[in-house]
Amino acid sequence: MKINNNKPPDGPEPHNIKKPIETPRAGPPASGSGTGPSDSIRISKQGKEAAQLIDAIGKLPDVRTDKVSEVKQAMESGNYKVDASKVAQKMISEIV
Protein backbone atom coordinates (compact mmCIF):
# COMPACT_ATOMS: atom_id res chain seq x y z
CA MET A 1 0.00 0.00 0.00
CA LYS A 2 1.29 3.45 -0.91
CA ILE A 3 0.25 6.72 0.78
CA ASN A 4 0.83 9.94 -1.12
CA ASN A 5 0.64 13.55 0.05
CA ASN A 6 1.18 12.74 3.72
CA LYS A 7 2.95 16.04 4.41
CA PRO A 8 1.24 18.15 7.14
CA PRO A 9 -0.46 21.33 5.89
CA ASP A 10 1.30 24.67 6.17
CA GLY A 11 -0.08 26.97 8.86
CA PRO A 12 -2.49 26.18 11.68
CA GLU A 13 -4.90 23.34 11.33
CA PRO A 14 -8.49 24.54 10.83
CA HIS A 15 -9.77 22.76 13.94
CA ASN A 16 -7.10 24.41 16.14
CA ILE A 17 -7.85 28.00 15.14
CA LYS A 18 -9.40 29.88 18.04
CA LYS A 19 -11.87 32.59 17.27
CA PRO A 20 -11.78 35.77 19.37
CA ILE A 21 -14.45 35.99 22.01
CA GLU A 22 -16.79 38.88 21.46
CA THR A 23 -17.58 40.88 24.57
CA PRO A 24 -20.73 42.91 24.89
CA ARG A 25 -20.15 46.61 24.46
CA ALA A 26 -21.36 49.22 26.91
CA GLY A 27 -23.97 51.62 25.69
CA PRO A 28 -27.64 51.71 24.95
CA PRO A 29 -29.43 48.43 24.36
CA ALA A 30 -29.25 47.18 20.79
CA SER A 31 -32.97 46.60 20.51
CA GLY A 32 -35.62 49.17 21.27
CA SER A 33 -36.59 47.40 24.49
CA GLY A 34 -36.58 50.62 26.51
CA THR A 35 -34.33 51.27 29.42
CA GLY A 36 -32.32 48.37 30.69
CA PRO A 37 -30.29 48.05 33.86
CA SER A 38 -27.29 50.35 33.98
CA ASP A 39 -24.08 50.07 35.92
CA SER A 40 -22.86 52.89 38.08
CA ILE A 41 -20.03 53.43 40.49
CA ARG A 42 -19.51 55.83 43.36
CA ILE A 43 -16.12 56.48 44.88
CA SER A 44 -16.08 57.10 48.61
CA LYS A 45 -14.44 60.09 50.24
CA GLN A 46 -11.62 57.83 51.47
CA GLY A 47 -11.14 56.48 47.97
CA LYS A 48 -10.83 59.98 46.54
CA GLU A 49 -8.34 60.94 49.28
CA ALA A 50 -6.32 57.80 48.60
CA ALA A 51 -6.21 58.61 44.89
CA GLN A 52 -5.00 62.14 45.66
CA LEU A 53 -2.28 60.79 47.97
CA ILE A 54 -1.12 58.27 45.38
CA ASP A 55 -0.98 61.05 42.79
CA ALA A 56 1.01 63.30 45.16
CA ILE A 57 3.45 60.49 45.96
CA GLY A 58 3.92 59.85 42.25
CA LYS A 59 4.99 63.46 41.78
CA LEU A 60 7.74 63.24 44.42
CA PRO A 61 11.30 62.87 43.13
CA ASP A 62 12.90 59.45 43.35
CA VAL A 63 16.09 60.91 44.81
CA ARG A 64 16.30 63.45 47.61
CA THR A 65 19.04 65.58 46.09
CA ASP A 66 19.38 67.70 49.24
CA LYS A 67 20.29 64.64 51.33
CA VAL A 68 22.56 63.24 48.61
CA SER A 69 24.50 66.49 48.30
CA GLU A 70 24.80 66.78 52.11
CA VAL A 71 26.28 63.29 52.42
CA LYS A 72 28.50 63.83 49.37
CA GLN A 73 29.95 67.01 50.86
CA ALA A 74 30.56 65.26 54.19
CA MET A 75 32.35 62.41 52.42
CA GLU A 76 34.50 64.76 50.34
CA SER A 77 35.49 66.82 53.37
CA GLY A 78 36.27 63.70 55.45
CA ASN A 79 33.54 64.46 58.01
CA TYR A 80 31.34 61.50 57.12
CA LYS A 81 31.66 58.94 59.88
CA VAL A 82 30.09 55.51 59.83
CA ASP A 83 29.14 53.89 63.13
CA ALA A 84 29.98 50.23 62.48
CA SER A 85 27.88 48.95 65.39
CA LYS A 86 24.78 50.75 64.08
CA VAL A 87 25.35 49.30 60.61
CA ALA A 88 25.77 45.81 62.06
CA GLN A 89 22.65 46.14 64.21
CA LYS A 90 20.63 47.33 61.22
CA MET A 91 21.88 44.41 59.11
CA ILE A 92 20.99 41.90 61.81
CA SER A 93 17.54 43.42 62.40
CA GLU A 94 16.76 43.17 58.69
CA ILE A 95 17.83 39.53 58.56
CA VAL A 96 15.78 38.54 61.60
Question: How many CA atoms does the CB half-sphere of 52 hold within 13 Å?
Answer: 7
45 assigned to some structural domain: no
pLDDT value of residue 88: 95
80 assigned to some structural domain: yes
pLDDT in tens, the chain (96 residues): 566 666 666 666 656 566 666 666 665 555 555 566 888 889 999 999 999 999 999 998 888 899 999 999 999 999 998 899 999 999 999 998
Q: Are 71 and 63 in contact (CB under 8 A)?
A: no
Q: Are 36 and 29 in contact (CB under 8 A)?
A: yes
19 assigned to some structural domain: no
pLDDT value of residue 18: 64
pLDDT value of residue 74: 93
pLDDT value of residue 38: 86
What range does the domain containing 69 cover? Answer: 64-96
88 assigned to some structural domain: yes
